[in-house]
Structure 1
């Protein structure tokens, strides 16, 4: 009878250890998935920021080139008008 009680106690202890191990594994998997999602979101944010910065730089360069061309054309036309 005592042996049966000890076996039952051992079985309950092993079941509790198994439940704790399963819960820990689930927690680790959840943490890994959350970390992966956070990393993916951060990478997407960084890519979007880089694309926006590149687009802004390209637009600024195009505007500067257009302004320089317009100024050069106006100066050339004013010189041509002054010479004639």
Structure 2
């Protein structure tokens, strides 16, 4: 069985992680970056920015549409990450 592939659509280097926009993961992203498990617990929106590759077209459209959950998640993670970096 092949693990599901997902793509990260959030801001690059959130919270200082070496994670970039459009990175593709095979399986759960927290296996590649174990630090994500703690971040997912503190910032629930972060998990929604990892979308299945099969849903990529729809997800990109939602990301670009103000007011959608994905657009709000991106903005929330960007703001939280920027704030954490300034501390």
Smaller-chain TM-score bracket: under 0.3
* The structure with more strand, counted as a fraction of residues: 2
* The structure with more helix, counted as a fraction of residues: 1
| TM-score normalised according to structure 2 size | 0.24
| TM-score normalised according to structure 1 size | 0.25
Which is bigger in relative contact order (C-alpha 8 A, separation at least 6)? 2
Name the larger-Rg structure. 1
